[in-house]
Amino acid sequence: MQKKNEKLLDKIVKKDYNNELERVLEKKPFAENVKSILLSILYKLETSYKDYKQVKQDVVSKEELIENIINVIENDCDEIKLVKPHSKESEIIGDRTFLVEKKKKRIICYNMERKVLYCLAKISKRNKIVKDNYFVVSKTLSDLINVGACINQVEPLRDFNGYSWTTIPKEIESISHNLIYQNLLLLVGNTFMNKWINNKEFIMDYMELFQNRLEKLYGKKDARDLIELLKEISVYLEIKFDQKAKGKMLKQKQAVEKELGQMQDNEAFVEKITEEKRKTTNEIKIIDETINNKHLLEEEYEKRNETLPLEEKIFSMRVLSKMMINEREEKLQKLEKLNKLLNPQKYVAYKKELEEKYKYLSLVDKEDIESKIDKLKLKIQKLFLKCFDKKVQKCDSKQDMLKLIYEYRYYMMLPYSYENAVYEEKDLQKEVEAETKKVLEKAYKLKVIERFSKQEDVNYELLKIIFQNRNINIEDIEVKLIKEKGKDNYFIQVFDGNGVGEKREMPNSENVDKKDLAIRFNKKVKAFY
C-alpha cells in the first residue's frame, strides 16, 4: 500500500513540474521545437534522477535540480534558438556548438538536449565567483569552477537514461574541467559547492571559506598544496581554451614586469609616483574646471566627438558631464592608491601583490601547455586520493562506509582522458591500488564487504571489480572463484544484479593459498553483507 502511495505521489510531482514548465513556456516567444526539447529534458531528468542519485550519492535534490532549470528558463532566457550544424543559421556561432549571451538573455545552440541544458547552466552562472583580491587567478579559478559546474549539471541527462549508466568522454565539454570539479565535490561536498557557484552576493570570500573547509577536513598542508595546484592548472586551462585571454594576460605580464623593474630602484620609483600624483591632481583640476564652465564643456564636447566614430559619439553635453564625473572618481581612486604607495608599509604590500600577480602571469608564455596540464592533473589526483583516504579512515559506520564505497567507485569510473577512466590510467595505478586496498580493509572492519581470503592481494583481485563497473546498485554484485579441471590457474566471474557475469583470469593464481579462502570454488557469493 505504501509503495502504491509513493508511486502516486511521484506521478503528481511529475505532473506539477510539467505544468510549471508549460506555464513558463506560455509566456516565452520560443519556437515549438524549443518548447518540445525543454519539456523532453525535464522528463528525462525526472526519469534518470533515481539512478543518478544512487550512483553519485551526494547530489542536489530532484526538486532543486528541476526547479532551478525552470527558474533559469523563466528569468534568464528571453530567446533560445536551435540550429543545425553547417547551416546558414549556425554561422553566428562559428566553429562552436553554442553561443550564450547573458546580457541579451539569448542562447543559440545545436539541436541537442545536452547542449541546451549546458547552455541553461551557463547562462545562469555569475562570470566571477572568486574575489578580485586573488588577482590573476580570480578569473581563471572562476572559469575553472563554473565550467566544471555546468558540465556537472548536464550529467544526469547525459549519462543516465532510466536503466543504465553510460559515460561517453567525447560528450563531455572538457575532461579536465569535469575531473577537477568532481574532485572538489567529493572533497568538500555538493552543498558547499552549490552555495559557492550560486551565491549572488559578493560579500563572502568563498575562496577563503573553501580553504578553511579543506584545512579542517584534510589539514593545512594538503589544503595549501591543493589550492596552489588548482591556481596553476586554472591558468593553463584558461589560455588553452581562450586565446583572447592569453593575449590579455601577456600584456598584463609585460606591464607588471616593467613595474617590478622600476621598483628595484626605490628612489626612482618614489620620483615616478610623485610625478604621477602631480599629473593626476592636475587632470582632476582640469575636469573640475571643465564641468563648471559651459564654454569649456562645449569645447570638450566638440573635441571628443571629432575623433569618435558615429556609433560612439556622445549624445549631449549632459552625458559628457556625467562621463567626466565618473572619470574624476576614477582619478581620485588612482590618487588614493598613489598616496598609499608612498607609505613604506603599503609599498612593501604592493610589491608583494605585484610579485604574486607575476608568479601566475609568468605561466602564460610557457611552451607545451598540454604537458603542463597533464602533469598538474596527475598531481591533483594523487593529492585527491591522499585526502579521500582521510575520509575513509575517519569513517566509523556501515552506512557512511557504503556511501564512501559508492563515491569511490564513481571517482574510479570518471574519465581521466578520452581513452581511460581513472582506474585505467597507468600513471595512477600504484596510488589507485593502494587506496583500493585501504577502502576494502575499512569495509571489512565495518562489515560492509565480505572478506574472501586472509591474503590481501587475493581479496584485492576478487573485489576490485566493485570499483570498476557500472552497475547502478553495487550491493547486488556477486563473485565466483572458478577452478577449471586440468588447469592450474583460477578465473574470477563477477555477476551484476541481473545475473550477467564477466569472466577473467586471476593474476598470480599460483600464490593463492586454498587454506586462506573463505569461499568455495565455482559458487556465487555476494560481495556485500
Is residue 213 scored above 90 in pLDDT? yes
pLDDT band of residue 499 (cuts 50, 70, 90) is low
Q: What is the pLDDT of residue 488?
A: 79
Q: Which residue has the cell 567525447?
A: 170
Nearest to 165 by CA among 155, 173, 151: 155
pLDDT at 9 over 70: no
pLDDT of 139 strictly over 50: yes
Residues 6+ apart with CB under 8 A from 220: none
User: Residue 470 has what pLDDT?
Assistant: 93
Residue 388 CB coordination number (10 Å)? 21
Look at residue 12 in the predicted model and tell me its pLDDT: 45
Which three cell numbers mark 172? 563531455
Q: Comparing C-alpha atoms, which of 166, 126, 169, 170 is closest to residue 149?
A: 126
Average pLDDT of every residue of the chain = 92
pTM: 0.85
The pLDDT tens digits for 242-292 are 989 999 999 999 999 988 988 888 788 888 889 999 999 999 999 999 999
**Longest Cα–Cα distance in the chain:** 108
CB proximity list for 137: less than 8 A, separation 6 or greater: 130, 231, 234, 235, 360
| In contact, 170 and 418? CB cutoff 8 Å | yes
522/524 Cα distance (integer angstroms): 7
Within 13 A of 476's CA, how many CA atoms are on the CB side?
A: 13
Which pLDDT band, with edges at 50, 70 and 90, does 158 fall under?
Answer: very high
CA distance 260 to 279: 21
Q: Is the pLDDT of residue 10 over 70?
A: no
Give the pLDDT mean for 371-388.
Answer: 98
Residue 326, C-alpha cell as written in the block? 565618473
Q: Could you identify the residue written with the cell 552625458?
A: 319
265-269, 405-409, 453-457, 502-506: least confidently modelled range: 265-269
**pLDDT tier at 345 (50, 70, 90 boundaries)?**
confident
Query: Is residue 5 pLDDT above 60, yes or no?
Result: no
CB atoms within 10 A of CB 502: 12
Residue 196 has pLDDT above 70, yes or no: yes
Greatest mean pLDDT range, 314-328, 330-344, 383-397: 383-397
Residue 431, CA atoms < 13 Å, CB-side half-sphere: 19
Section 215-227 average pLDDT: 98
The b/e string for 255-294 (b: 16+ C-beta within 10 A; e otherwise) is: ebeebeeebeeeeebeebbeeebeebeeebeebeebbeee
Residue 200 has pLDDT above 70, yes or no: yes
Whole-angstrom distance, CA of residue 102 vs CA of residue 230: 27
Contact 171, 151 (CB under 8 A): no
Rounded mean pLDDT of 105-130?
95
Chain segment 32-84, per-residue pLDDT in tens:
999 999 999 999 999 999 999 999 999 999 999 999 999 999 999 999 999 99
Q: How confident is the model at residue 14 (pLDDT cuts 50, 70, 90)?
A: low
* CA distance linking residue 513 with residue 491, whole number of Å: 15
Instruction: Please tell me the least confidently modeled range out of 50-54, 395-399, 488-492.
Output: 488-492
Of 274 and 486, the structure prediction assigns the larger pLDDT to 274
